[in-house]
Chain A
């Protein structure tokens, strides 16, 4: 794909035919992950990718419903023919995401069921956040602060790290899951209306927890540092320059005194993140950045409002 090519060809996923029933060989184990006696204690470990898919759809919907977050290229997403800027950000994001999936760590979430999607929010504040299920949101303000494709890759790698490490799911209050434990386990088919409504409330509460965690409260410092560490490894695996992660944080640090809300409210101080990352970056082999990566970044960003 080249950003000079204008609209980038995208493939529409064909609707799959129903697989139907038939013989099966699923392996059952006694006890197992959903132990009725113990209940769900760790949503990160026990929510399935299918559960995460539905959470991600709803979290994405709530974020896009926020009047503050009009998103770029709505027509492109609807038609399947993305603008060159949106396509470019998704190309960088997918390269980074494939690198993450190709070198998984223990406890990484599996591939999002509906793939990875990188959505630009039309907002001048500096922010980026991820929903479960492979939705990554980055503001135009955050992109404008980047000076190269490698710095953009650092932003996206940090968010991909949040997804693969299941950080958003970790925002769900434990009490929600314990309160609905039995219904959750028994919710196979044909729920009665009362239980269905209760489950929908738990679903809604979980979504609110995740949105609150991503947009308002932020994650713990340790969680953010983990996303930095894993994100750095991901971008290196993709072939991007690890120095770009630190250089982007330096730019953010330069605004730390005047910045407020968004990124500044939900992330540790950039100076703290730099201090932790520098030693890791120093261990990486130097990367020569071809001029084309800066050029195609500048061309793509020049079309952003």
Chain B
């Protein structure tokens, strides 16, 4: 294909499906944060006290596995849920697929194909009246799981998400 700098892909990254079972994660494994930002919890549950925050691309060492939760050390120390990470050391930039021409091979294979910041940019050029400022702001807002714990306790809820 003329004009395209290709990465000749012979396959795909197993990690490309976030729903894939991370059977290989065990104590000693290194995992990489895939979501933009994730709370590292004091215990293996979604709602409760937080021990820190990690960002996309942060690489963490697993010290213990408990169901779908991993006790990790690295940018923060505590528990992180499997849906927030990919297995292995993967070089990911903070903006999904945002590595551009300097993107690592990992970034391209995991996140840099299909709909990327470049394609969003071209779409925005084609639709200049669309205001992405709303979603830019909305996606910056997140809740403190510690405050949610009080909400759950007050309401007599199970909280779920263990």
Contact = CB atoms under 8 A, between A and B. Distances in A.
Interface string A24-43: 11111111111000000000
A10 to B, nearest CB: 5
A53 interface: yes
Interface in B95-148: 96-97, 99-106, 108-120, 122-123, 125-127, 129-132, 134-135, 137-144, 147-148
**Chain B, interface residues (CB within 8 Å), range:** 35 or more
The interface centre, meaning the residue of B15, B129, B142 with most chain A CB atoms within 10 A of its CB, is B142
Interface string A235-264: 001111000000000000000000000000
Contact of A203 (B5, B35, B119, B144): B119
B119 A117 contact: no
Contacts, number: 352
Contacts of B101: 189-190
Contacts of A31: 11
B93 A19 contact: yes
Given A2-B150, A13-B36, A19-B94, A74 B56 contact: no
A11 B131 CA distance: 24
A20 B6 contact: no
A278 interface: no
B76 interface: no
B13 interface: yes
Nearest to A118: B138
B55 to A, nearest CB: 3
B157 A240 contact: yes
Nearest to B160: A99
Interface of B: 1-7, 9-19, 34-38, 45-47, 53, 55-59, 68, 81, 83-84, 88-94, 96-97, 99-106, 108-120, 122-123, 125-127, 129-132, 134-135, 137-144, 147-148, 150-152, 154-162
Given A48-B18, A58-B132, A113-B56, 18 more contacts: A12-B142, A20-B104, A21-B102, A23-B91, A24-B106, A51-B113, A51-B115, A54-B96, A91-B143, A94-B148, A99-B161, A107-B19, A111-B18, A113-B34, A188-B5, A190-B5, A195-B4, A203-B123
Q: Which 10 A-B pairs have the closest CB atoms?
A: A19-B57, A99-B160, A110-B18, A16-B55, A102-B161, A239-B158, A192-B3, A32-B12, A98-B161, A200-B122
Interface of A: 1-2, 8-34, 45, 47-51, 53-55, 57-58, 60-62, 64-65, 71, 74, 77-78, 80, 82, 90-91, 94-96, 98-104, 106-115, 117, 119, 135, 149, 182-192, 194-197, 199-201, 203-204, 206-207, 234, 237-240, 288, 290, 292-293, 296
